[in-house]
Structure 1
Amino acid sequence: MNTRHGWTTTPITPALLRGALELELTERGALPHRLPAHARAQIPDGQLAMAQSQPSGVRLVLRTRATAVELDVVATKRVYVGAPPRPDGVYELLVDGRPAGRARAADGDTLTIDMAAGTAEARPGPVETLRFTGLPEGEKDVEIWLPHDEATRLVSLRTDAPVHPARPTGRPVWLHHGSSISQGSNATAPTGTWPALAAALGGAELINLGFGGGALLDPFTARALRDTPADLISVKIGINLVNSDLMRLRAFGPAVHGFLDTIREGHPTAPLLVVSPVLCPIHENTPGPSAPDHSALSEGRLRFTATGDPAETAAGKLTLTVIRDELARIVEQRATTDPHLHHLDGLALYNEADHAELPLPDALHPDPATHRRIAEHFARLAFGPGGPFGTKTP
């Protein structure tokens, strides 16, 4: 810890982070990862490698008397060829759990992605300084939530008073795995993803292993869940298996069993909640793969469509309806010997009535209001009285 001109520079270490499984020290700053190195070595595609480096749910947590904070970052900006520009990621500062400031990095590294060609090109960019001032006087807990959808290298942390790691909260640690919906796609701020909102409503400390395009029952993800300390665990399975057209029904059931078996090796009695997919009309009865709607792209809009044939479900192709039925069957079977295993139908989180009021703007991902709707339903059903994460009723 170095002090210059009344400011303190504090090394960024894992002790200051929550929500990350590993912190990689690079020449351009500390990069939080949501999968450990041994898992990253087995990732077979760039999409998951990118998604796990986007720090959804990751936050710097400090105990300090500082009234001003500066954070130097290198953000990775994504540019999709033919699609409208993406908004800059949001950094949210909370004081004792209450919002107290926001900032954005206007520049940084650039990753240009051509979804049609399947290519990506990276260009390095500058370090940006984020400034938060006017914080309340006195000792307090300060959290800086990193963007849920923008990889961020943490270069330097400066404050006008010394900082220390925050004290343990005593809240249960909730470990969640899911798809881009769980990562927070289309949410406008990191505390506005449905898992972050549900954790706040449920009084839990979130570790979010929601990966855009990456909830694919990968064994290395199961091992990461197995090896991560947690009090409560949930896995939301389905949409990525359909929209990637990755496997058929014959492989799906054994893969789910294997995924749950691995988690149970490290968490034999923790409440484990299996959540099936929320409503997604394009894939309810139509298999994948998903693809960008080129007519929408020509109008400057990003929208997705299902390209499979519903008749192919007879040959084992997966749809969301098929997956919901199979997950309910698997959990019912396993629960006879695992009393801490639970099932939650995703249609209880977002269904046709919700869709009529809050349609999916790109046909695949929820908007900010829908993230809150899903979070409220999840908090009530999972963390509420009688729920698997809540107070048990007599």
Structure 2
Amino acid sequence: MNDRLDDVPGSPAANWISTPITADLLRGALDLEHTERGVLPHRLPAWARAQCADGQLAMAEAQPSGVRLVLRTRATAIELDALPTKVTYQGAPPRPDGVYDLLVDGRLADHASVPGGNVRTVDMTTGSAETRPGPVGTVRFADLPDSVKDVEIWLPHNEITQLVALRTDALVEPVPAGHRKVWLHHGSSISHGSNAETPTTTWPALAAARGGAELINLGLSGSALLDPFTARVVRDTPADLISIKIGINLVNADLMRLRAFTPAVHGFLDTIREGHPTIPLLVVAPIHCPIHEDTPGPGAFDLSALRAGKVRFRATGDPAERAAGKLTLGVIRDELARIVKQRAVDDPNLHYLDGRDLYGEADFAELPLPDQLHPDAATHRRIGERFAALAFGPGGPFAAEGA
């Protein structure tokens, strides 16, 4: 253990030590932007952000799903000043404040929220949005063990979070990289964590914990669209295990037809393999979602539900349009399975997982999707547990050698 930490006992909270928030204290972020207020973690690097002006992507990648501060310290009290940007939908009930999860030596010890902050109000009937500025807030964790320990503060998965200041009552230092394999996952809002209660209970975070992996979460709400810059980010990011979950956003965005989808998937996989030619690469098809199983997009907000103060989604396409190449979840699953089977002849480390093995028709009957699109907290847990068993468990593509 570091002698400098061992030799400095915890001090009264009045004797705060301020520590600059630098990249070596953060995990799960691929870029750190310096702002007027502090630093803003990003999950896509600046060059990738510059290639797409889409507001949904900009919001999603700046929401730090899977991003956490990781410190080694004997501090008994920690304060983090942050400026969140919270999203609300006009006509719908306010969403709860984002949650900061505190882990001590790998175990959940506490959680808290930052009050205040900016509020971005989205009008779902017009697509317009307005941001009202707000104050910086503080999250405080106290009564921690007075011994050297590894501390993780997982940032809210659903709030853009500018980190303003970090204070502790003892010195901190970065935690050296361990021996856990790095798992990089890319997917949609379901992977991002929509409707999960806390950042450590999104399904990828749960699966990573069970699988003993170090998570980089590139789940991007509304933005798993086979973008070439995303493939290049995956290609260039050091990782030991990679999974890509593709489907739902392509349907509900009504972005492409089958003719474009097939070569786009091949191109996405080709790009990833340029940087990671032999590591396990798992292609995950969509989970069960009745509104889009056989009905193409685009998806839309259910305005009648909105008038009743509820958020709900619906499919607006015509099932007959499948004949013209429109995508549905069923079409996408069949094509992904065919593509992986074809490529696996020359790529034995490429694997396929049907998303219905994570959440299928029977699961929907027991745990329906509350808004017809996104899983709730219990379903995130179920998906995470099943992914861990199927991917990290014995015989799975991410299983340790000899398992």
Q: TM-score, normalised by structure 1?
A: 0.98
Alignment of 1:352-371 (within 5 A): 352-371=361-380
**Which residue in 1 is equivalent to 2:112?**
103
Residue identity in the other structure for 2:116? D
Alignment of 1:318-337 (within 5 A): 318-337=327-346
Paired with 1:393 and 1:73, the residues of 2 have a C-alpha distance of 44
CA shift for structure 1 position 298: 1.1
Please say which of residues 236-245 and 77-86 is displaced more in the overlay.
77-86
Q: Does the alignment pair 1:349 with 2:358?
A: yes
Alignment of 1:110-125 (within 5 A): 110-125=119-134
Q: Does the alignment pair 1:72 with 2:81?
A: yes
Q: Does the alignment pair 1:273 with 2:282?
A: yes
Q: Does the alignment pair 1:261 with 2:273?
A: no
Secondary structure at 2:326 match in 1: coil
**Which residue in 2 is equivalent to 1:179?**
188
1:346-366 Cα distance to aligned partner (Å, 9 max, x none): 111000111111110000000
CA shift for structure 1 position 392: 5.2
Residue identity in the other structure for 1:243? N
CA shift for structure 1 position 18: 0.3
C-alpha contact 1:235 1:275 (8 A) present in aligned 2: yes
Secondary structure at 1:24 match in 2: strand
Paired with 1:107 and 1:116, the residues of 2 have a C-alpha distance of 26
**Which residue in 1 is equivalent to 2:7?**
none
**Which residue in 1 is equivalent to 2:242?**
233
Residue identity in the other structure for 1:167? P
C-alpha contact 2:181 2:240 (8 A) present in aligned 1: yes
Secondary structure at 1:305 match in 2: strand
Q: Does the alignment pair 1:43 with 2:23?
A: no
Q: Does the alignment pair 1:202 with 2:211?
A: yes
Paired with 1:291 and 1:360, the residues of 2 have a C-alpha distance of 16
Residue identity in the other structure for 2:107? R
Q: Does the alignment pair 1:153 with 2:153?
A: no
Paired with 2:138 and 2:99, the residues of 1 have a C-alpha distance of 13
C-alpha contact 1:192 1:371 (8 A) present in aligned 2: yes
Paired with 1:115 and 1:271, the residues of 2 have a C-alpha distance of 40
1:232-275 Cα distance to aligned partner (Å, 9 max, x none): 00000000000000000000000000001111111111100000
1:255-298 Cα distance to aligned partner (Å, 9 max, x none): 00000111111111110000000000000000001111111111
Please say which of residues 344-353 and 115-124 is displaced more in the overlay.
115-124
Residue identity in the other structure for 1:82? G
CA shift for structure 1 position 169: 2.2
**Which residue in 1 is equivalent to 2:174?**
165
CA shift for structure 1 position 5: 5.1
**Which residue in 1 is equivalent to 2:144?**
135
Paired with 1:192 and 1:379, the residues of 2 have a C-alpha distance of 13
C-alpha contact 1:386 1:392 (8 A) present in aligned 2: no
Q: TM-score, normalised by structure 2?
A: 0.96
**Which residue in 1 is equivalent to 2:259?**
250
Paired with 1:233 and 1:243, the residues of 2 have a C-alpha distance of 24
Paired with 1:205 and 1:393, the residues of 2 have a C-alpha distance of 20
Residue identity in the other structure for 1:160? D
C-alpha contact 1:274 1:342 (8 A) present in aligned 2: yes
Unaligned runs of at least 5 residues, structure 1: none
1:122-143 Cα distance to aligned partner (Å, 9 max, x none): 2221110111001111000000
Secondary structure at 1:110 match in 2: strand
Q: Percent of pairs identical after alignment?
A: 73
Paired with 2:284 and 2:211, the residues of 1 have a C-alpha distance of 17
Residue identity in the other structure for 1:275? V
Residue identity in the other structure for 2:355? G
C-alpha contact 1:385 1:392 (8 A) present in aligned 2: no
Secondary structure at 2:109 match in 1: strand
**Which residue in 2 is equivalent to 1:126?**
135
1:166-195 Cα distance to aligned partner (Å, 9 max, x none): 132210000000000000000010000000
Q: Does the alignment pair 1:307 with 2:316?
A: yes
Please say which of residues 209-218 and 294-303 is displaced more in the overlay.
294-303
Paired with 1:123 and 1:294, the residues of 2 have a C-alpha distance of 24
**Which residue in 1 is equivalent to 2:28?**
19
RMSD (CA atoms): 1.2
CA shift for structure 1 position 393: 6.1
**Which residue in 2 is equivalent to 1:32?**
41
Unaligned runs of at least 5 residues, structure 2: 1-10
CA shift for structure 1 position 391: 3.5
**Which residue in 1 is equivalent to 2:223?**
214
Secondary structure at 2:17 match in 1: strand
1:369-391 Cα distance to aligned partner (Å, 9 max, x none): 00010011100110001100004
C-alpha contact 2:125 2:303 (8 A) present in aligned 1: no
C-alpha contact 1:63 1:167 (8 A) present in aligned 2: no
**Which residue in 1 is equivalent to 2:5?**
none
